Structure 1
Amino acid sequence: MLRRVQYSLDVIQEEARRLVCQGILKRHQPIYMLCKYFPAREWGYVERELERNDFLLRDSILDLLGSEDWCED
């Protein structure tokens, strides 16, 4: 039986925030760059959650993160 994975917008934002804070991704890059950091078979779930919340894959990661977040030192 296949397990259906669900990603909430909060989980996606937290992963994006972590990647930006680690310097792996930049805030100006498009959201679709996140696809490298989620399992390929689960990316469809992430994409649907983003679309459900009115995000386009071409939008910047900064749009996804909302207000400027400071990374902890």
Structure 2
Amino acid sequence: MVATPLPQTYTLSALQDDARTLVQQGKVSRNEPIYTLLAHLPDREHTSFERELALHDYLLRDRIADLIPQERWQND
């Protein structure tokens, strides 16, 4: 019997961290829709990703900038 890896269960904070990392790496833009993040996840994790977004009233067509809390910079 071959063990199939279980899909990852996402939390909103994990989604935000992943999105922030992809933006910082330049792989996605803050202005792109959230659904572009799915291209960076295995197919089996899409359902969990979408379910967590829906629980927090996010839509796949919303912008990544809406998902990532505003970053604050302090003046030195």
- TM-score class, shorter-chain normalisation, is 0.7 to 0.9
How far apart, CA to CA, are the structure 2 residues paired with 1:57 and 1:39?
A: 17
Deviation at 1:38, TM superposition (A): 1.1
TM-score scaled to structure 2, two decimals? 0.83
Largest Rg, 1 or 2: 2
What is the TM-score when the length of structure 1 is the normalising length? 0.86
CA RMSD across the alignment:
1.7
- Count residues with an aligned counterpart: 70
Q: Distance in 2 between matches of 1:69 and 1:35?
A: 27
1:31-68, Cα deviation, whole Å (9 max, x unpaired): 00000111101110000000100000000000000213
1:28 is displaced (CA, Å) by 0.3
For residue 5 of structure 1, give the secondary structure of its aligned residue in structure 2.
Answer: coil
Moved over 4 A (4+): none
Are the equivalent residues in 1 in contact too, given 2:30–2:64 (CA < 8 A)? Answer: yes
Q: Percent identity?
A: 44
Flag structure 2 segments of 5+ consecutive residues without an equivalent. none
Question: Retained in 1: the 8 A contact 2:7–2:44?
Answer: no
Q: Structure 2 CA distance, aligned partners of 1:26 and 1:13?
A: 14
List alignment gaps of at least 5 residues for structure 1. none
Equivalent positions of 1:1-73 (< 5 A) are 3=6, 5-68=8-71
